[in-house]
Amino acid sequence: MSIRLTILGCHSATPRINAFPTAQYLEINNRHFLIDCGEGTQRQMRKYKVGFSKINHIFISHLHGDHFYGLVGLLSTFGILNREKELHIYGPKGIKEVTLLQLKISQSHAKYNIIFHELSSKESELIFEDDKVEVRTIPLDHRIYTNGYLFTEKEKPRKLNMMNISGYSEINKADYLNIKAGKNVTLSTGEIVLNSELTLPSTKPLCFAFCSDTCYKLDIIPIIKNADLLYHEATFLDDKQDLAQKTKHSTTKQAAKIAKKAKAKQLVLGHYSGRYKDISLFKKEAQEIFENTELAEPGKVFQI
């Protein structure tokens, strides 16, 4: 069980020579997800060796250009690469219309099926689930409808306590699956051996919370509580609180307060305004409130 997050882009507004808008590649419990897709995402994917064929689910936070203008280009490239696997795209209502229109007008005919999951709820909801991972929305407060996403590993079966199991001659390998599934064992004498005696706890499931563009929003805290890794936008330094409120973005210290109140294990800041030349100031300010703070930078990997 593990989390590996690769930052593809982490700056706000417009692409620049060495600044790429938001995009992240998440590997969690052997699943692979692309989160947001700003301009230049597929270039960054190639640069940092993200396998195109591994991406089957794309999560778009909102329909501002610096978070999804790279999407149609990526979809076109998938077509050129003769992709056949279906692709699932999660995002705000309207993402299907704008994406299919671009593909239609450009005559970018894809052989693969694109399945859109359009979101409109202002409450957190489960939008993806398989046997390894589940994904819930984190409703945010930005200038347009926006969601963050909480990626959580599914809890694995309990581990066999072979030392204790060996003390019962009646228990054999045929019983192991039931034991790992949490069931007790009834012996021929009628004695019930509790599952807790035959197993050890599984590894604690990990979770990653992605909080895209948003103003300071305390009611997300119950959703992201105890996140092992939290990405939270911090467009401005703390002296620009008025501007952050006006544009519905967050400051360094506001992001740090969210991390502290949510008892996150680690905070990653990103979505820096282009006005700043020295992003080390972001980390310095946030650490005044939340010590375990790191900065998102293109190509940087965070692993748990």
Cβ atoms of 119 and 90 within 8 Å: the answer is yes
Q: What is the pLDDT of residues 218-259, one digit of tens each?
A: 999 999 999 999 999 999 999 999 999 999 999 999 999 999
Catalytic residue positions, numbered: 66
CATH T-level assignment (fold) for domain 3-156+203-303? Metallo-beta-lactamase; Chain A (3.60.15)
Mean of the pLDDT values across residues 16-20? 87
Alpha-carbon distance 206 to 260, whole Å? 18
**Long-range pairs of 158-164 with CB within 8 A, sequence gap ≥ 24:** 158/182, 158/195, 158/199, 158/200, 158/201, 158/202, 159/199, 159/200, 159/201, 159/202, 160/198, 160/199, 160/200, 161/197, 161/198, 161/199, 161/200, 164/197, 164/198
Residue 192 pLDDT class (50, 70, 90 cuts)? confident
Q: What is the pLDDT of residues 101-149, one digit of tens each?
A: 999 999 887 789 999 999 999 999 999 999 999 999 999 999 999 999 9
**Lowest-confidence range among 26-30, 57-61, 129-133, 186-190?**
186-190
Alpha-carbon distance 2 to 213, whole Å? 26
Domains of the chain, by residue range, sit at: 3-156+203-303, 159-200
Alpha-carbon distance 155 to 119, whole Å? 26
**Long-range pairs of 170-177 with CB within 8 A, sequence gap ≥ 24:** 171/198
Alpha-carbon distance 28 to 18, whole Å? 28
Q: What is the pLDDT of residues 42-89, one digit of tens each?
A: 999 999 999 999 999 999 999 999 999 999 999 999 999 999 999 999
Structure tokens at 104: 């239609």
pLDDT value at residue 117: 98
Alpha-carbon distance 33 to 127, whole Å? 14
pLDDT value at residue 173: 84
Residue 198 pLDDT class (50, 70, 90 cuts)? confident
pLDDT value at residue 250: 98
Which residues pair with residue 299 across a beta bridge? Answer: none
Q: What is the pLDDT of residues 248-294, one digit of tens each?
A: 999 999 999 999 999 999 999 999 999 999 999 999 999 999 999 99
